[in-house]
Structure formats: C-alpha cells, structure tokens
Structure 1
Amino acid sequence: MAGPGWAPPRLDGFILTERLGSGTYATVYKAYGKKDTREVVAIKCVSKKSLNKASVENLLTEIEILKAIRHPHIVELKDFQWDSDNIYLIMEFCAGGDLSRFIRTRRILPEKVARIFLQQLASALQFLNGRNISHLDLKPQNILLSSLEKPHLKLAEALFGQPPFASKSFTELEEKIRSNRVIELPTRPQLSRNCRDLLQRLLERDPDKRISFKDFFGHPFVDLEHMPCGRSLEQATALVVEAVKKDQEGNFSAALSLYCKALDYFVPALHYEVDARRKEAIKAKVGQYVSRAEELKALVNSSNRALLQQGTCARDLLKEMARDKPRLVAALEVASMAMAKEEEGQDDGDALDLYQQSLGELLLLLAAEPTGRRRELLHAEIQTLMGRAEYLKEQIKMKETRWEAESADRDGLSESVRSSCTLQ
C-alpha cells in the first residue's frame, strides 16, 4: 500500500484499491467490479507518457495475444480500457503472489510438488508453442499463483531453492554462464532419475544440444499425459473396466498391465480431487486395485519364470553360436546379470537398467545380423528381454503409485494441484 496522500486512478465500473506492484511503465492494482458479483481483478495501469512508439507496439501486441488465447494456466486478459492518461489492462487476479516469493518462503519444494507445477507450466508452454508464441521473459517473478492454499508452478529454482547460476555480481554470473564447466546438480535433496535427467538436458549450455520443445513435452518427468485434471478419474475408470474384463477372461498378464496403467491415472485423480469424501472413496478403490495387481503379479511372475526356464536351451545355444561375436557375448552376459538381479528381487531399478543396457546393444547387433538360425534366436531373445523390461517397469510404477496414493495428503500436495498457476 502507498503512503498518505496516495490515491489510485479512477476507472469506470471498478473500484481500485491496494497497489500490488509497479515497474518502469506500469502499476498493478487490486480492484473490485461495481456489479453485483463484486468480481476481484488485477488492473495493470500503463502511463501513456512513459510509452514511445516501440512500447505502444509491444503493448498492442500483448493485448492482441492475450485477448486471443484462453488456457487454464495462462493469466486471462478480461478486458482493456483507456483514458487521457492511462491504458488499463483488466486481468485475472492471482491472490497467491508469484513463484519467487512462494519458493523463498518454503526454501525448497518436494520433487512431487515441483513436478505438478512443471506439468502445468509445460501445458501452458505447449499451448503457446503450438501457436508460434514465445514468452521471452519466463522467470519465477512472472509466474503467478491463484492462491496460497491451492498453488501452481515452474521447475528451475524450485527444487533447490536457488537458480543454477546463483551469483553475487553480474560479472560472476556472466563467468558462470560462459564457462565450459559441467553444471553439477546438488546431491541434496535426492532426485529421481527422470528429474535429474531433465534438469541436465535443460541446463545444457549449447542450444544445439539442449533438449528441444518436442522432447521436453514428451519427457517422462513432464508426463503431460498424467497431469492431474478433471479427466483423470474418467481415464482411470475406463482402464479398470478393461482390466476387470481381462482378469475374468484369465488373461492375467494383460489384466496386470491394464491395472498398472489405470493406477497411473488414479494418482493424478487423487491429487485433483478436493472433496474429502470423494477422495477417500478413490483411495479405497486404489487400495483394492493395488491388492489385485499384487495377486496378479505373483501369478504372472510364476508364469514368466517358467517361460524363462523354457528358453534356457535356446539361450545357451545362442551363446554358443556367438563365440565369434565378442559384443554379442558381452550383451548376453549383461542380460544374464539383469535376470539374476531380478531373481534377487532387491532392486528392480538396477535390474531394469541392465535389461535396457543389454537391449540397446542387442538391437544394434540384430540390425547387422544376416538371415539365419542365429538371427532367429537373437530375435526371440530380444522379445523375451523386452517383455521382462516392460514387466519390471510396471512393477516399479506400481510401487511408486502405491506410495503416492498413500501419501497423497502429505506435504499439502492435494492443496497444490487444482489452483491455476498462471503466466503473466
């Protein structure tokens, strides 16, 4: 609020109250509509005296773009007016302030909260990118929160509480940006493999090597497909219907896969739901489906072990035929290590890494392998290994889903989803 003697400008249809912020060209006020609804808005007042020709063109472009776009995670321009002194942009009001302040007050954010914020931001960026619009000034101060009770948001700074090139001076900042030194991510807090991979690809200095928009939107950490939204429960329910059908038919492998896919949508549905009674009903259903998935896992696992044992002779024959191919022998050894890890049952993630490492090499070798018995055996082995890798992925996801479902109400997560983080 301003001091004594200060008064906001007058605008037909609105009562302007406290000053929310100000910059070189504009001041933003909180305001109320004079109509019955008393709608709360933010009004950006741009002084005509401060505008040159280029500034006028930029402002008109901003108005043109904002009037033409509607997205739940982009701040809405409701209308604009002008008088002899100012141009007024009547905007959606975001009561939670900006992301920068949100991070400062919490120091760091849990990865699962940062991920939901990132999904919302990515959704807005994808919308803009599809219309050939670039933001050009994307930073925490320009990302607004609809409320503090139900906030929304962006990635870099959020996880560690400081930006990747934090510096005490512009000289130090420039040196860090221009340096060829590899950017070391802090070891704490501990991050998931997907989160760390995305951060490193986003922080690549060479723009030609940096992750593209297409790859960013498709990255497994962003995972826009499973972003919490109004359709999450509907998508989960449709998959469960298919899972139950396959289960009743005795196709346990397909049923397990469908249950796991359904759980991928149930967790976002839990995060999206705000009604306590409906949330508890969803959690109860999730518990039932996880229990059935565990039973199916035991059945499928037993069947898979039998298939692996049946393939032992063909696997041994392939190894014998690969004596003149050291790379093939080495790749098959890695596959054997993956199977051994899986049998131990200690760390599915390690086993999955070994399967993927082996498959990457075997697929290259298959492409160069001439037609013949060895190629047939290699093709069959790759199919078996791919099946094991997919199965392990589902098991890892199921464990994560169960943990997320159990902790859906912790850390205020359910409160950090449905609000609209909006780009200013």
Structure 2
Amino acid sequence: MLDKAAIRDCACALQFLHERNISHLDLKPQNILLSSFDNPHLKLADFGFAQYMSPWDEKSVLRGSPLYMAPEMVCSQQYSAQVDLWSVGVILYEALYGRPPFASKTFVELEEKIRSSQAIELPGRPKLSRDCLDLLQRLLVRDPLKRITFEEFFTHPFADLEHMPSPENLERATSLVVEAVEKDQQGDHSAALSLYCKALEYFVPAVHYETDIRRKEALRSKVNQYISRAEELKAVVTSNNRAILQQGNSARDLLREMCRESPRLLAALQLASAAVTKEESGDSDSDTLELYQQSLGELLVLLAAEPAGRRRELLHAEIQTLMGRAEYLKEKIKMKDLQWKEESMEHEALAESIGRSCTLQ
C-alpha cells in the first residue's frame, strides 16, 4: 500500500515544479522511480510532455497517457495545471486498489466512463484512514474548478509536507521534546503526551530520510526512547480519564434529565455517549473521533444559545470533558500511527543490517 512517505515525496516534487510554473502532464506509475532499494525515495521522471504553465494558462492539446489523463483533457476541453492533481489521484487509487478507477479496453470506453456523472466507486477494502480517503476523493473530482488546489494538496495532512525533514523542523522537534520533558517533570502528563506526539511527527520522517548510517541510528534510538515514554504516559492518562469519566456520570445523567424537552440537545448528548461507549470498548479509531467531533459541533452551537442557569453550567462542563477526551483520542490515533512507523523502522534497520552483512561477506 502507498504510504504517507511516498505521497510526501510526490507532493514535494510537484511543489518544486509548481513553484516554477512547470506542469508534468504525464504522471503515471511508469514515470515514478525509486532512488534505491535500501532507502527508497520517489523521483518523477520523463518530462517529455512537460510545459511551462502559469496558474492562469490553459491548453487544449492532448498529452499524456489516457488512463491517467484528467477528464478535461480526455474530453478535449481547455485544461490547466490542475490535470497533474487528477493524475496523482489515479495513481493513488491504483496503488491502493490494484487498478485505475476507469480501467478500459478502448479510448472510446474510457471517454464514456469519464463523461459519466456517476460517482467514482471506492472499494470497501482496504480500509483507508480518514485523511487518505479525503485526499483521494478530493483529487478525483471531474470538475477541475471543484478539484483540490495545489495549495490545498501541499498542506493536506496526508501529504504532510509540514513535517518534511529540514534543519528547521529538527529544531522544532527538539524544542517540542524539551517542552514535553518539562511538562512531564511537572506532572502534567496529558500535555507531555501531546508534546511528545507532536515532536515525533517531525522526528519519524527525519529517520526515514536520513542517509548517514550513524546519524540514522542515533536518531532512531532517540525516537524509540520518546515513543516508549509516550506509551507510558498514555497508560497514565488513560487511567486518569477513566476516573474523570466515572466522576462525571452523575452530572451527565442529570444533564440528560434536564434536556428531555430539547430533542436536539438530547440527540447531541446521545451522539457523545455513543462516542464514549465506542472508545471505552476499545474502538479508538477515526470513526470514534468523528463521533466526538460531530457531537461537539452541535453542542457548541447549542451552548451559545443556552440561557444562564444550572443546565448551561452542566452543558459547559460536559463539553469541556468531551473536548478533552477527543483531544486525547487524537493523540492515541497518532501514537498508533507512530508505532506502525516504528515497526517499519525496525524492519528497515534489520534489512540494512542484513544488507551490510551480505556486503562484508
């Protein structure tokens, strides 16, 4: 499966081109190369169809490979640099599902499928993260005016160029770790956990991109140390959250009793309860987080219209509790992602060690 590092490489290359008003116009898997097997990075190749295209420029000449052409190009309409973003969407779809979205035997069949107003079908498997799904859906929009823009693509959380390794980002990561240690020593475990997770979002990509073996090993050792401490803090914060949840049950029940005449408020509270139940049962994924966010969005609107009184006080307290749980759940999801990356790094380290051993032999 295509991971965030691969999309980040692709986005970084496109950002370089976009800043120079260059459009590739023939993005497809065959034109994406790996720098090496040991420490692979994506590189764009074959600029035979590339053009200088300012954001306001439009072309009408057919270029590229039909399966990866944007609808406006296939249908011989005027097109802009946005066509490259459609191609990225097709490549991502194919990497995830094993086939392009409009696989066809002839160009006529392909054009018919692209001209169709029928929504692009996304298979149920594999299950995609919310960020990955959002990016895929926004890239594969037939109308170029409604498609994701380059600026939105470069700042999208799945492309995650914000955490692209750089001297500035390593300084930022180090600063966050210092803050995390201070909060940890002060006993503010929740804040420390959040800061460790934010720092790791910068450190983990840095390990992936580091080429010097000694620096890579040193950085990987630090990352493992921070992940271990974050795991310990997660256990402490989970225990504290459960205690807070138990203490808040009576107030929550009272609030529900006071909301019987307000179906909208009661429905929002029931949505929040569903999120809490899912989380307490161990279902700590993006769907649970979305339930929290939906309920909080509704409750905050209702709080603004709620007159002063006991019910407003209880509602405000409940919102604060739910916001805390939602923020903590975000950190848990980040930790799961970071743990997966840590395992990938361990496999990568093992492969490097085996490779060096084979070379010595």
TM-score normalised by length of structure 1: 0.63
Deviation at 1:299, TM superposition (A): 2.1
* Partner of residue 2, structure 2: 111
1:398 paired to 2:343: no
| Counterpart position of 2:56 | none
**Within 5 A, what are the aligned runs for 1:160-309?**
160-309=97-246
Whole-angstrom distance in 2 between the partners of 1:413 and 1:235 = 29
Is 1:157 the equivalent of 2:45? no
Q: Which amino acid aligns with 1:282?
A: L
Q: Which range is displaced more, 318-327 or 366-375? A: 366-375
Q: Distance in 1 between matches of 2:216 and 2:269?
A: 47
Equivalenced residue count is 303
Which consecutive residues of structure 1, in runs of 5 or more, have no partner in the other structure? 1-109, 416-424
Moved more, 117-126 or 138-147: 138-147
Alpha-carbon contact 2:8-2:160 (below 8 Å) kept: yes
CA distance in 1, matches of 2:340, 2:197: 13
The 1:116–1:288 alpha-carbon spacing in structure 2 relative to 1, beyond 3 Å, is closer
Quote the offset at 1:248 in angstroms: 1.3
* Residue in 1 that maps onto 2:359: none
Is 1:273–1:414's contact at 8 Å kept on the other side of the alignment? no
Structure with higher RCO (Cα < 8 A, 6+ apart)? 1
CA distance in 1, matches of 2:197, 2:293: 20
Residues 403/144 of structure 1: CA separation in 2 closer, same or farther (3 Å cut): closer
Per the TM alignment, residue 322 of structure 1 is displaced from its structure 2 partner at its CA by 1.3
Shift of 1:286: 2.1
Q: For residue 192 of structure 1, report the CA deviation from its aligned partner.
A: 2.5
What is the rounded CA distance, in whole Å, between the counterparts of 1:118 and 1:255 in structure 2? 30
Query: Is there any run of 5+ residues in structure 2 with no aligned partner, and where?
Result: 44-87, 353-361
CA distance in 2, matches of 1:408, 1:145: 21
Matching residue within 335, 341, 360 for 2:272: 335
C-alpha change, 1:318 and 1:189, in structure 2 (3 Å) is: closer
What secondary structure does 2:345 align onto? coil
CA distance in 1, matches of 2:307, 2:280: 33
1:161 to 1:299, Cα distance in 2 relative to 1, 3 A:
closer
- Residues 1:191 and 1:380: Cα distance change in structure 2 (over 3 Å): same
2:10 corresponds to 1:121: yes
**Equivalent position amino acid for 1:217 in 2:** F
Does the CA-based 8 Å contact 1:145-1:152 persist in structure 2? yes
Residue of structure 1 in register with 2:28 after alignment: 140
Shift in Å, 1:231: 4.7
Identity %: 63
- Which residue identity is paired with 2:91? E
Decide which moves more: 116-125 or 398-407: 116-125
The equivalences for 1:14-163 within 5 A come to: 110-112=1-3, 115-126=4-15, 133=21, 135=23, 137-140=25-28, 145=33, 147-149=35-37, 150-153=40-43, 156-158=90-92, 159=95, 160-163=97-100
Most deviating of 269-278 and 388-397: 269-278
Structure-2-length-normalised TM-score? 0.73
SS of 2:91's equivalent in the other structure is: coil
RMSD: 3.0
CA-CA distance at 1:395 after TM superposition = 1.0
Amino acid at match of 2:218: A
- 1:137-181: CA deviation from partner (whole Å, max 9, x where unpaired): 252379564734443155532514543223222211111111011
Question: 1:90-148 CA distances to partner (integer Å, 9 max, x unpaired)?
Answer: xxxxxxxxxxxxxxxxxxxx221xx32322332344455567x3627252379564734
What SS is found at the alignment partner of 2:242? helix
Distance verdict in 2 for CA 1:376–1:130, change over 3 Å: farther
Counterpart check, 1:369 vs 2:335: no
Computing the radius of gyration from Cα coordinates, the structure with the larger value is 1
Q: Do the aligned partners of residues 268 and 413 (structure 1) sit closer, same or farther apart at CA in structure 2, a change above 3 Å counting?
A: farther
Q: What corresponds to 1:358 in structure 2?
A: 295
Gap change, CA 1:215 and 1:327, over 3 Å in 2: farther
- Following the alignment from structure 2 to structure 1, what is the Cα–Cα distance between the partners of residues 151 and 114? 25
Post-superposition CA distance 1:200-242 (Å, at most 9, x none): 1211223344333343233221111122445554333221111
Normalized per residue, the structure richer in strand is: 1
Change beyond 3 A, Cα 1:353–1:383: same
Given the superposition, is the C-alpha separation of residues 369 and 215 from structure 1 closer, same or farther in structure 2, using an over 3 Å criterion? Answer: farther
Contact 2:89 2:139 in 1 (8 A): no
